Structure 1
Amino acid sequence: MRGLISLVGACALGLSVMSAAHAEDMHDWWDSAWWERGELAVPENHKVAVTRGNYETGEVDVPVMIARPDDGNKYPAVLFVHGRRGLDELIEPHVIRLAARGFVVVAPDLYTGRFIEKFPIEHDTVLEEDLSHAVDYLLARDDLSSDRACIYSHTRGGYYALKVAVTHDRQNNGLACYVSYYPHMQDPNAPEPMQVYRYATEVDQLTLPVLVFVGEHEQYQRKRGIEMSVSALRNRERDAHLVEYPGVGRGFEFRGGEVRTFADDLATKDAIQRATRFMKEHLQ
């Protein structure tokens, strides 16, 4: 019996080792340094200064929130793109949390400049043009350590960012990488079957390194498009990564205290650190 127990234990250990060995290939969130060597990432923290400004597009003045470490040093550039709810009291702290990682972050308020109400249903293509101007506005700053920017978005902002990168060709003129939380990877004006069963054709033309975060309980039609998009990019041998967090759903990175869960917080802290490493690698 003792020999049998030892054999079973050895088999279990073997399965455990095999499981750990294959986990890194199966899950983008797997961290061998932590699991095998006990190394925990130590985040970089900066006190953040916030200012306000605006830029002209030729038609409108677009308000912007600017967040950066509160010192005289230069830092890499990030363009933050809001989603359907706009740049409000729930989203602005995300901009600050990102700047605290060591970035100069410019976040245009696309809707206010165009007098668009929060949570629009239809997509207005003029917003893509306004966002493209934001790339130039950001890169004209003299406090940057990078000559390109990463575009960082969530929800419908992921579609705006996709269009700016591809349709406006900023992936070859100013942008270095694409990061997004549960992005809308289809034209919001497309018919319902396209929303569920297809992704935007621009995805096939995206050449930027891509990092996408999604919760396990994301809306089915949104999650399906995200998974298809990342799979299509990988099939084209593009640098694309999808991290899925168990136990969380939509809005996990900005949900307020009255509805926020511990799982939301864990996912948010992990995602922003992964995004930080990813963007700094591509902004060197």
Structure 2
Amino acid sequence: MRRITGWLFVGCLFAGMAATQAGEMHDWWDDAWWERGELAIPENHAVAVTRDSYLSGDVEVPVMIARPDDDRKYPAVLFAHGRRGLDNLTEPLVTRLAARGFVVVAPDLYTGRFISAMPIEHDYVLEEDLNLGLDFLLARDDISSSRACVYSHTRGGYYALKVAVTFERQERDLACYVSYYPHMQDPNAPEPMQVYRYASEVDDLTLPTLVFVGEHEQYQRKRGIEMSITALRNRDRPAQLVVYPGVGRAFDFRPTEVRTFADDLAAKDAVQRAARFMRQHLE
């Protein structure tokens, strides 16, 4: 588990954040910044957004597609939304990743099945819907990679885990797993399982994994995330956990009336860190 600790510095935004503990090396360390004052310049693209759909049985699943607004091919990413569904706060997450240079397909798993936003219980058919969304993505002719990465947040982290493991897509069709404060347990599991256990599928996850969480995330969610990453690392799986100090839940999409500067720093760092990670495994 890798933890970012210390102060958030504006000048270090794109090079990594926080102060190092004495004698400990961190993967965010940047000699170019420290020794020569160089700041990384993020990749930016104008984004085109289109809408489409695909069938899951007799259900039409709406899908948002965001990609750079040009004729080039880019690596493929499947976005799995959480309990909010796709709305005015979560759709920009898709756009922000596409602006880094990816073709991002984001199925709207709730609308086609008339599921209201913020459901409590989990409908397992949504896992199949997301799995078919991966087929939809990989069939596109504007992607440059033969595989995709899954990019998710909240409950979408569980949906993505099931696609990778239960549907056995990690062996041939997926290159990495990236998630923001994912729900690493079956949402229908009883309370003790939510707090003290993680989903059994985690033990079978072999994909390179990158997870982001705020220091002040809900205890029951953070505990499951930390246990999951520890379990993966104990199995010598390539798993990283980035913990942002001073922020809590939903730092990537908290609205303006409650958003903090620390939320923005964490969100900007995370999307660039995720982009580098996914590009590394897709190219």
> What TM-score, normalized to structure 2?
0.91
Q: CA deviation at 1:42?
A: 1.0
Aligned to 1:114: 113
- Please name the residue that 2:63 is paired with: 64
Task: Give the conservation status (yes or no) of the 8 Å contact 1:29–1:243.
Answer: no
| Superposed CA offset, 1:39-90 (max 9, x none) | 3221000000000000111221100000000000000000011000000000
**Which residue in 2 is equivalent to 1:47?**
46
Paired position in structure 2 for 1:204: 203
Letter in 2 for 1:181: Y
1:240 equivalent in structure 2: 239
Alignment pair present for 1:159 and 2:161? no
- What are the superposed Cα offsets for residues 226-284 of structure 1, whole Å, 9 maximum, x if unpaired? 00000100010111000000010000001111111000000000000000000000001
CA–CA distance in 1 between the matches of 2:186 and 2:34? Answer: 40
- CA–CA separation in structure 2 for the residues paired with 1:133 and 1:271: 27
**Partners of 1:102 and 1:214 in 2: CA distance:** 24
Number of the residue aligned with 1:281: 280
The answer to whether structure 1 residue 22 and structure 2 residue 13 are counterparts is no
Equivalent in the alignment of 1:140: 139
Q: How does 1:23-38 map to 2 (within 5 A)?
A: 23-24=25-26, 28-38=27-37
* Match in the other structure for 2:73: 74
Q: Distance in 2 between matches of 1:221 and 1:74?
A: 40
- Does the CA contact (< 8 Å) of 1:78 and 1:151 recur in 2? yes
In the alignment, which residue of structure 2 is the partner of 1:12?
Answer: none
Match of 2:179 in 1: 180
Q: Deviations over 1:190-226 (max 9, x none)?
A: 1111100110000000000000000000000000000
Which protein is bigger by CA-based radius of gyration? 1
Equivalent-residue separation in structure 2 for 1:147 and 1:33 (angstroms): 33
Matched residue, 2:229: 230
* Counterpart Cα distance in 1 of 2:117 and 2:156: 13
Distance 1:279 1:90, change over 3 A: same
- Provide the rounded CA distance (Å) in 1 between the counterparts of 2:223 and 2:30: 25
* Match status 1:189 vs 2:188: yes
Structure 1 residues 22, 140: CA separation in 2 closer, same or farther (over 3 Å shift)?
Answer: same
Q: What is the alpha-carbon root mean square deviation over aligned residues?
A: 1.5
Distance 1:248 1:33 in 2: 27
Q: Kindly indicate which of the two structures has a greater share of residues assigned to helix.
A: 1
1:173 positional shift: 2.9
Q: How has the CA–CA distance of structure 1 residues 49 and 20 changed in structure 2, closer, same or farther, with 3 Å as cutoff?
A: farther
Q: Which residue in the other structure is 1:4 paired with? A: none
| CA–CA distance in structure 2, aligned partners of residues 18 and 100 of structure 1 | 31
Q: Helix, strand or coil for the counterpart of 2:24?
A: helix
Task: Find the aligned partners of 2:205 and 2:239 in 1 and give their Cα distance.
Answer: 10
SS in 2 for 1:253: coil
Distance across 2 between alignment mates of 1:202 and 1:80: 19
Distance change >3 Å, CA 34–CA 21, structure 1 → 2: farther
CA distance in 2 between counterparts of 1:89 and 1:127 reads 21
CA–CA distance in structure 1, aligned partners of residues 230 and 21 of structure 2: 23
Q: Distance in 1 between matches of 2:153 and 2:262?
A: 18
Q: What TM-score do the two structures reach when normalised by structure 1?
A: 0.90
- Give the Cα separation in 2 of the matches to 1:257 and 1:250: 15
Percent of matched pairs sharing the same residue = 78
Q: Secondary structure at the match of 1:255?
A: coil
Q: Which has the higher contact order (CA 8 A, sep 6+)?
A: 2
Task: Give the Cα separation in 1 of the matches to 2:20 and 2:209.
Answer: 29
Inter-partner Cα distance in structure 1 for 2:110 and 2:165: 21
Q: 1:20 and 1:105 mapped to 2: Cα distance?
A: 40
